Amino acid sequence: MGKLSKSAAKFQRQKFGASKNVAKSSKSVEKRVAKDPADDRRDQSQGARAEDDGDTLYGIFKSPNIKNVQFGIDKCFPTWYGSTVYFDRRTMKLGIYHDTPSGVASPAKKKTELDTFWLDTLYVCEYCFKYTAERDPFLGHVKCCTFKHRSPGRIKYKSPEYTIRRVKGFKHQLFCQNLCLFTKLYLDNKSMYFKVEHYDFYILYQTGLHKPMAFFSKELISYSQNNLACILTFPPYQRKRLGSLLIEFSYKLSQADGIVSGPELPLSPFGLVGYLKYWSRVICWHMVNGVFADLDGATLEELSTVTGLRINDLITTLKYLQCVGPDNKIYLSVLRNWLTATENRSFKFQIEDEFLLVND
């Protein structure tokens, strides 16, 4: 590997996402914010909007504060939600007031896009998720990123098309922290950034390549026996059913552990939509084409055992499908019609057992 340029070497040495550094930075930021009239004005404005909406959650942004993410060399896309963690506000000219040489604040200027976005472009490595606000250090890092040719973690699924790796949070702490920071820009309910040692992260790659496309996290010790805590398909790879593939894989993990499981609740609105689609396909397939196809019906317990879905999740899905009658009987005709109407009659499971390596 070639010698790093000075800017690239500086980028590599920075401990992005390290919990101690961020905690220290957060305290200093709080002190600086208190002394900055422009920041106070902005915080008061955001607080007023939160009060108007009846929202008392601290630190929740109403709109993104980073305009775009440059994800690797060739992918640039807008953010969906805001995040304060990326910023050291000493070097950010965020206010609409600027000090004059006399020390007197100038009159307020007309609000512009720069007042809405704290940063125009955040540069994120698509291999390791390290980040910077500067283009040149980013380009230098991408040329020699250690994960460009060797992805972290242990392979748990490898088909000709997709590979899923398990990355332990306590072993690859920086990678997982930066992944969580990036995720916050696209999940509004993401709250865990730095305490990653209690989680495993399952990263999805195209087989033979080292660019993460999607992931889910799983808590190591879950008293509710949840098989998934957080899931995200990165924007360039959405609408490829990668989320469904990872959800299906999470149930394969539960099956290997011999438990009936499901995701951490409550689900986000987007998460609920994704799970309802997956649960609906699974239930309909088993009732119409699977082991229950030739039977008059099935109990919730039997359906839970076969599908691996929790009974409460089954009830939620059956209500969503509107296929349960007053006598609690499941109407197969409704399920068949749903399969036809949604073009899921030829539904096939994406995870193939022959490529599973979950017990290795």
Residue 167 vs residue 44, higher pLDDT = 167
Q: Are residues 124 and 89 in the same domain?
A: yes
Q: 171: closest CA among 207, 196, 205?
A: 196
Domain limit, last residue, from 120, 144, 168: 144
- Number of compact structural domains in the chain: 2
The percent of the chain in helix, strand and coil, each rounded to the nearest 5, is 40, 15, 45
Q: Are residues 159 and 66 in the same domain?
A: no
pLDDT band at 138 (very low <50, low <70, confident <90, very high): very high
What are the helix (H) ranges across 198-268?
242-257
Q: Are residues 119 and 212 in the same domain?
A: no
Look up the domain containing 257 and give its range: 154-355
Residue 353 CA to residue 116 CA, distance in Å, equals 49
> Amino acid identity of 168?
K
Residue 212 CA to residue 129 CA, distance in Å, equals 10
Question: Above 80 in pLDDT, residue 99?
Answer: no
Q: What is the mean pLDDT of residues 69-93?
A: 78
Q: What is the mean pLDDT of residues 68-79?
A: 97
Round the average pLDDT of the chain to a whole number and report it.
79
pLDDT band at 17 (very low <50, low <70, confident <90, very high): very low
CATH number for 314: 3.40.630.30
Burial tier of 42 (Cβ tally within 10 Å: 0-12, 13-18, 19+): middle
| pLDDT of res. 66 | 93
CATH number for 91: 3.30.60.60
Q: Which of 264, 301, 302, 352 is catalytic?
A: 264
Residue 95 CA to residue 106 CA, distance in Å, equals 11
Cα separation values, 321 from 96, 328, 347, Å: 52, 13, 17
pLDDT band at 12 (very low <50, low <70, confident <90, very high): very low
**8 Å CB contact between 174 and 15:** yes
**Annotation says 264 is catalytic:** yes
Identify whether 360 is part of a domain: no
Question: Above 90 in pLDDT, residue 347?
Answer: no
Q: What is the DSSP letter of 350?
A: S
| pLDDT of res. 150 | 96
pLDDT band at 299 (very low <50, low <70, confident <90, very high): confident
Tens digit of pLDDT for each residue in 150-209? 999 999 999 999 999 999 999 999 999 999 999 999 988 766 778 899 999 999 999 999
Q: What is the mean pLDDT of residues 139-155?
A: 96
